[in-house]
Amino acid sequence: MCMDAGRQWVLENLGTYGPRIRESVAGAVRDEHAASLDAQDASGHRSQGVYGEFWKGVLERLEPLGALPGVSLERPGAARYRVPVVNGFAIFPWRFARSRRTRLDETLFTTSPTRSSLLELPAPQHEQVALELNLPDAGLTEEDLQVLKHYESIVTAGTLSVTRLLLVAISSSSSGLFSAEWGEVHAGAGGCLAWVQTGFHENLLAVPSAPVSASPSKTFTSGLPPTVTVGTREASGDS
């Protein structure tokens, strides 16, 4: 069986734990949509402000990635949140739209100094440490190991001055989870973002999510992906 392009990309670019990170990011988006939808329903509010807190929830769900070897949590600018950085890529989830009609390359991203700093986030400088024991299982196949061996000379974060932005672009509302894609982006026209043409981006809703634990007390994702809910309620904005 041939390896799918998304799995190969994360192995080549994110390293040993790339497949686990990919599955965890996909699961975090699905799980936060389901949790935000439940919270909105429980509130009984006509306003969709409760679901609008989605962006905070999905950031929190990515924090356990920081327990993986080679992953650090970095604070962009003066933000109160931190984003995972692995192998020179800063992973940032952004709910850029509330409907299917909105395009990523037409949506303003640089709305604050914090957002702008994500495009030039200093790369963490890792010090050489002793060999770690009891590492979490990366769940790699023989084919995965062959890919890693072939790309064992991939650039590491320690040789970079700034990170590259690995965007998780989400379109959703209390009416449904419409799309979730991720891939490398660069600054586009007018403060918007564009996918790197020579890079790779994929549909995260087609990626299976699996429970992954970096330590006994930290679980990335769990449970089955929720069914996309379709309704007639009108969605409103988030931060």
224 belongs to a structural domain: no
Number of domains in the chain: 1
14 belongs to a structural domain: yes
230 belongs to a structural domain: no
* Nearest in space to 162 (alpha carbons), one of 90, 83, 81: 90
Q: Is the separation of the CB atoms in 192 and 36 below 8 Å?
A: no
Tell me what percent of the residues of the chain surpass a pLDDT of 70: 80
Q: Lowest-confidence range among 91-100, 131-140, 184-193? A: 131-140
Mean of pLDDT over the chain: 84
Q: What is the largest CA-CA distance in the chain?
A: 56
d(CA 73, CA 63) in angstroms, rounded, equals 7
179 belongs to a structural domain: yes
225 belongs to a structural domain: no
The answer, yes or no, to whether residue 99 has pLDDT greater than 50, is: yes
Each residue's pLDDT tens digit, 209-220? 665 443 333 444
Tell me what percent of the residues of the chain surpass a pLDDT of 90: 71
Q: Is the separation of the CB atoms in 19 and 10 below 8 Å?
A: yes
76 belongs to a structural domain: yes
Locus of tokens 């001055």: 161
Q: Which residue segment(s) compose the domain that 100 sits in? A: 5-123+142-219
Each residue's pLDDT tens digit, 184-227? 999 999 999 999 988 889 999 999 866 544 333 344 443 333 33
For residues 134-159, average pLDDT:
79
